[in-house]
Amino acid sequence: MPRPPPEQAPEASPPSQRTAYSPGLVDENTLGLRDDRAHYLAKIEQAQRLITDGESYEICLTNLARRGFAGSGLEAFEQMRAVSPVPYATYLKLGASKS
C-alpha cells in the first residue's frame, strides 16, 4: 500500500521554490568526517584481522559525516527519504530547535 506524502510543515518551502535534489557523489572536502582516509583504512585492516582470527564473521564500518544545510530539518528529511525510502521512517521535531 503506498504511503501518503509527509505533511507540509509551516517552515518548509513550497515545492515550487525548492531546488531539485540530485543524489550522487559528494566532494569529500565539503564534509566534516570523523575518520580521515588513513584512519578508515586502518579500521578496515583491523576488521580484516578480527575476521581472520575468528573474532567476528561480519563487521559494519561506518564514518560520521557532517555537512552544512541551509534548509529546514523537514526539507533534509524529505530529500533523504526520496533517495532512500524506508518503511518506518518519520520526522520528529522535539523541543526548541533551529530546524
Q: Give the model confidence (pLDDT) of 14-58 as tens digits.
A: 555 656 656 667 777 788 889 988 999 999 999 999 999 999 999
Q: Where are the alpha helices (DSSP H) in the chain?
A: 37-52, 73-83
- Give 59-79 pLDDT, tens digit per residue: 999 988 888 878 888 988 888
DSSP code, position 13: P
Provide CB contacts within 8 A for 32, sequence distance 6+. 65, 66, 67
How far, in Å, CA of 51 to CA of 56, rounded?
Answer: 5
Contacts 24+ apart (CB under 8 A), 38-45: none
Instruction: Show the cell assigned to 1.
Output: 500500500
